[in-house]
Amino acid sequence: MKDIKQLIREATGIADASRIEAIERCMRAEVFVSTLEWIPEERLVRGATQACALVRERDAAHFICMEFKGKGDPFFGGNADDRALLTDGFFGHSDERNPAARYLTARDAIAAGERAPNRRSGAVVGAVPLQAIPVVRH
């Protein structure tokens, strides 16, 4: 069997290493929910194209869901603890393995946040638009 990254590259036409890694993670965590070593190559090719579509769809998503609770910055004596809705469906603090889930519309983001099993009472759920970060060239 081919190297998985090479297979993804050939199946999708993508050459960027970070995109290939994102597609591989999506294949493992969402498409197959498994390791990839035992899956036949023809299924891996279909899974790579499916994962590529999911990753592209997320790139087009412009909202995340946030849960706001408390008041004031903790650094200055406040008790605010704001959390994002993560890709595992729970509110928390994102990291590389479990980033904030992205949604196409604010309505979708809020609806997903209202279904989160670890939503805290008294917290406010809202959609936050993702802003494009301008590239500054020097």
Q: What is the pLDDT of residue 136?
A: 53
On the question of pLDDT at 127 being above 50, the answer is yes
Find all residues with CB under 8 Å of 127, minimum gap 6, and list them: 63, 64, 65, 66, 103, 105, 106, 107, 109, 110, 113
The alpha carbon of 57 is separated from its chain's Cα centroid by a whole number of angstroms, namely 10
28 and 44 housed in the same domain? yes
pLDDT at 133 over 50: no
Tell me if residue 67 falls in helix, strand or coil.
strand
pTM above 0.85, yes or no: no
pLDDT of residue 55: 87
Between 102 and 138, name the one with better pLDDT.
102
pLDDT at 56 over 90: no
- Mean pLDDT taken over the chain: 88
Mean pLDDT of 48-56: 91
Query: Is residue 135 in some structural domain?
Result: no
- Phi first, then psi: what are they for 15, rounded to 5°? -110, -20
> Which residue segment(s) compose the domain that 11 sits in?
4-60
**Largest Cα–Cα distance of the chain, in whole Å?**
57
Tell me, yes or no, whether 108 lies in a domain: yes
- How confident is the model over 112-125, as pLDDT tens digits? 999 999 999 999 99
Question: Per the structure, how many domains does the chain have?
Answer: 2
